[in-house]
A and B are shown apart, each in its own frame.
Chain A
Amino acid sequence: GENVEQHPSTLSVQEGDSAVIKCTYSDSASNYFPWYKQELGKRPQLIIDIRSNVGEKKDQRIAVTLNKTAKHFSLHITETQPEDSAVYFCAASGTRNTNAGKSTFGDGTTLTVKP
């Protein structure tokens, strides 16, 4: 099955700096890569996703890049703010056959943005 590794497990940055979280996956059939943000005591919520036919996607201060050859993808947050502090999960998912939509999650990165 799919295996997703996420690094780092914790990340602390100063407000205004950039943060980068990296993930690798093992199954070359995976072609959908979402990122979820989970604030303390809350549920995970999707912040951005990318499909395998795209190398990069941006949404305001958040961007995701994908390298299918190397099987890794990254989340980039620019101009970080204290409200970006949360746990971030990457995931890899296939979109074909009976396991379509089943995501394998990374272990999460706890991001702390210091004011």
Chain B
Amino acid sequence: DAGVIQSPRHEVTEMGQEVTLRCKPISGHNSLFWYRQTMMRGLELLIYFNNNVPIDDSGMPEDRFSAKMPNASFSTLKIQPSEPRDSAVYFCASSPGQAVSYEQYFGPGTRLTVT
């Protein structure tokens, strides 16, 4: 298996533009997580899906952020409009889930820079 796949790996955009980050979890994993990592705030959980259903989005900073998981093999995190303070590394992680393992497998991350 190729592991968790994220695209793009790097994104540079101007303030006000829409940004879409993409994630393909490991096949067969039931849970998917979106994290944001910055020096100031560490590793923050943004949203968590179980069997494609959003379970906990309490970490989503504000309405500018939205996430979808239309099927078991794809998820997106969208920021509209983007702001400089959104600059961070965004990780997607997947986990096999209940009765198998709760280990989270992280993707390589997307480094977002908003100017």
* B-binding residues in A (CB < 8 A): 1, 32, 34, 36, 43-46, 49, 89, 93, 95, 98-105, 107-108
Contacts and interface: CB of A to CB of B under 8 A. Distances in A.
Given A102-B48, A105-B45, A43 B103 contact: no
Interface in B95-110: 95, 97-98, 102-104, 106-109
B55 A99 contact: yes
A45 B107 CA distance: 10
Q: Decide if the interface of chain B is mainly helix, strand, loop or mixed.
A: strand
Interface string B38-79: 000011010010100001101000000000000000000000
Interface of B: 31, 33, 42-43, 45, 48, 50, 55-56, 58, 91, 95, 97-98, 102-104, 106-109
B42 A101 contact: no
Contacts of B107: 43
